[in-house]
Structure 1
Amino acid sequence: MKSSLKIGSIMGIPVKLHITFLLILPVFALVFSINEYPLGFAGTTPVILNYALSLLTTILLFACILLHELGHSYIAKSYGVEIKDITLLLFGGVSSMEEIPREPSQELRMAFAGPLVSFIIGFILLGANYILASTASGYGGTSIWLMFYILGSINIVLGLFNLLPAFPMDGGRLLRAWYAKRMSYVKATHYAAGFGKMFAFLMGLLGLFFNPWLILIAFFVYIGASEEDKSTTISVLLEKYNVSDIMSEDVRTVSPDITVEELSKFMFENKHLGYPVMQGNSLKGIVTFTDIRNIIPTDRFATLVSDVMTRDIISVSPEDTASEAFKVMTVNNVGRLLVVSDGELVGILSRSDLMRTMTLLNE
């Protein structure tokens, strides 16, 4: 089951709704419907108007979040960065980028673009609310112009929140860009991540005494800082090596004509959970333990590898850097890549190979 649904494309970038967005949509609408003026529509009559305004405000709020992400994406695309997609999630939106620019000035502009869009939207809506509210009849917490105030206020808060100097917020990237002008990119990331972790710790302490929601946000910030630090360190260190330097050349393959029962025994004997599927000299696909684990034992004798293998092969070239291979694994959420040169299988690269290399480099 897919966790995200594509709803369209903007600037050539696919826009998706995550299942968590569909879950939070009615919750936000409910919050707006029960909150009093000026941050909700409680008391609006008829009741159907209350619910309609609350739902519309929720939809427009996430449209503003989408514009925030498009701000990042527009600047990133101007620097040649490929944007895989933009996904609207439970806590907002995220742009899936091929790579964050390493040039500090580029990362600074790209990181600040999102909050800038939020500030622009916020001030325009608050200004429109101020002008129109004084002339619109029926204003007093029930007017449709109240949406302008709510959305304007939330966009200002969204812009300020994203400027907090901690990953994964935009402020963490701004802080890294500032550090990166004075030191190496890896060290700048480490310093910025360390600052973010300290910020998360202090936020968590405040949450213990004032608001439990701050504890959840602190956890989110701490994990984001740790992951950014780890992934950046891995990417930079692996840039020094090609796939051919660390791949396994002795590749064990299986035939598409063997049964899943035979494959499971083969996996047990050879201690690997994924194999290329070859018919003669022709590469047909790849089969992993994930492909067969849900097949009940009685069906394994009648099910062939060709019935369950993945035909859409994700591969890399032996000349690609190990860092590029790591990104391909991460983006596609796979544990191994086939290494193909001139249409021929020449090796296999697993996540374990990359981690082993990282361990040796860090010693």
Structure 2
Amino acid sequence: MRIARVCGIEFRVSPFFLLFLLAYASVGLLRETLLVFWVVLLHELAHVAAAACFGIRTERVELLPFGGVASFSEPLVASPAREAIIAVCGPAHNFAFAYLAAVLERSGFVSSSLARFLVETNIAIGLFNLLPGIPLDGGRILRAALVPTLGTVGASRLASAVGRVLGLCILMAGGIMAYAGHCNVLLPVLGGFLVFAASREARAVSWVRVRDTLRKKREFLAAGTMSVNLLAVHEKACLKDVVRHFVPGKLNVVLVFDTELVIRTLACELDVLKAMSEHGPDALAATIAR
């Protein structure tokens, strides 16, 4: 649900977050509800500020339980180090906020009950977001660490799978607690949110590489030069295996060889993606030359 548009950024609230807030408000915790909303918003604005430092424009922010998802003008996976830095800024902000609340409480500027709630909420949000599964910040840090080994798509799929597993574990924990007579509305909401959001990101993985390629095309045409990652590929290699060796941030160029080590064709990554679109990911590299 869209709630506002500020400085060109569209702010939305997930239905899961609305359920979370309603659960708080329904038991008479209206003040706490507003504070949680504010803490989550500041967490996401920390990501927005970090992205702006790299010259990346934020297009949309969707608030979710214990965090949010920001959509940027370019895919962050193009630079794993940059994605990791932007991701870690969210939890870092929460821990700094918790420390500030404790300092203000000791100085007498805020009440003990308010400070305790802010400290506990920020620490909980910060730690939860460091869990290694997409869409959480820890999942994005994990993906950034795996990109050099598994490639953009492989790392994204693994981090999304971890996110789904974490969500299912939280749902199971909620079910076990309910069976034992300790009903906790928060756990099913969080578990459902993780499974839903991780599955959504997994479905969007195929578009990550396309967006990255189009971005590199624009940058190359604007700058006139770009670093190249050169790959030697046998004509019987599967296209899905070829793209796993693509390097984000570089223009990937493929040399297709036959069994006599004669070059069949020279192609850029856009040609490879077109071949995958036309013939499927299991098609052979020889189809690029046709």
TM-score by length of 2: 0.62
Structure 1 equivalent of residue 280 of structure 2: 361
Q: Is the 8 A contact 1:200 1:221 kept in 2?
A: yes
Residues 311-350 of structure 1 mapped to structure 2, 5 A cutoff? none
Question: Which of 174, 177, 182 is matched with 1:207 structurally?
Answer: 174
Q: 1:158 to 1:31 in 2, by over 3 A?
A: farther
Q: CA deviation at 1:172?
A: 0.8
Structure 1 equivalent of residue 198 of structure 2: 225
Q: 1:149 to 1:32 in 2, by over 3 A?
A: farther
Question: Which of 11, 15, 26 is matched with 1:16 structurally?
Answer: 11
Q: 1:218 to 1:97 in 2, by over 3 A?
A: same
Q: What's the CA shift string for 1:305-333, capped at 9, x where partnerless?
A: xxxxxxxxxxxxxxxxxxxxxxxxxxxxx
Structure 2 equivalent of residue 168 of structure 1: 135
Q: CA deviation at 1:13?
A: 4.7
Distance 2:8 2:112 in 1: 32
Structure 2 equivalent of residue 252 of structure 1: none
Residues 7-46 of structure 1 mapped to structure 2, 5 A cutoff? 9=6, 12-14=7-9, 16=11, 18=13, 28-31=24-27, 33=29
The amino acid of 1:147's aligned partner reads L
Distance 2:65 2:211 in 1: 33
Structure 2 equivalent of residue 5 of structure 1: 3
SS where residue 16 of structure 1 aligns? strand
Residues 90-169 of structure 1 mapped to structure 2, 5 A cutoff? 93-101=68-76, 102-132=78-108, 144-169=111-136
Q: 1:26 to 1:216 in 2, by over 3 A?
A: closer
Q: Report 1 or 2 for greater relative contact order, CA contacts < 8 Å, sequence distance ≥ 6.
A: 2
Structure 2 equivalent of residue 193 of structure 1: 160
Q: Is the 8 A contact 1:68 1:114 kept in 2?
A: yes
Q: 1:187 to 1:112 in 2, by over 3 A?
A: same
Structure 2 equivalent of residue 59 of structure 1: 34
Distance 2:165 2:131 in 1: 12
Q: Is the 8 A contact 1:126 1:153 kept in 2?
A: no
Distance 1:19 1:193 in 2: 19
Q: What's the CA shift string for 1:141-183, capped at 9, x where partnerless?
A: xx84421211121011011111111111111101101111333
Asked if 1:235 corresponds to 2:230, the answer is no
Distance 1:24 1:218 in 2: 12
Q: 1:149 to 1:175 in 2, by over 3 A?
A: same
SS where residue 96 of structure 1 aligns? strand
Q: 1:32 to 1:177 in 2, by over 3 A?
A: farther
Across the aligned residues of Structure 1 and Structure 2, the Cα RMSD in angstroms comes to 3.5
Structure 2 equivalent of residue 327 of structure 1: none
Q: CA deviation at 1:96?
A: 2.8
Q: CA deviation at 1:74?
A: 1.2
Q: Is the 8 A contact 2:142 2:159 kept in 1?
A: yes
Distance 2:95 2:13 in 1: 25
Q: CA deviation at 1:219?
A: 3.2
Q: CA deviation at 1:119?
A: 0.9
Q: Is the 8 A contact 1:129 1:146 kept in 2?
A: no
SS where residue 280 of structure 2 aligns? helix
TM-score by length of 1: 0.50
The amino acid of 2:205's aligned partner reads T
Q: CA deviation at 1:116?
A: 0.7
Distance 2:50 2:82 in 1: 8
Distance 1:196 1:26 in 2: 25
Q: 1:125 to 1:164 in 2, by over 3 A?
A: same
Q: Is the 8 A contact 2:40 2:66 kept in 1?
A: no
Q: 1:60 to 1:196 in 2, by over 3 A?
A: closer
Taking only the aligned residue pairs, the percentage that are identical comes to 28
SS where residue 214 of structure 1 aligns? helix
Q: 1:27 to 1:147 in 2, by over 3 A?
A: same
The amino acid of 1:95's aligned partner reads A
Q: What's the CA shift string for 1:76-111, capped at 9, x where partnerless?
A: 122232211334457654423223312111010011
Structure 2 gap ranges (5+): 179-183, 216-272, 283-290
Count residues with an aligned counterpart: 217
Q: Is the 8 A contact 2:12 2:63 kept in 1?
A: yes
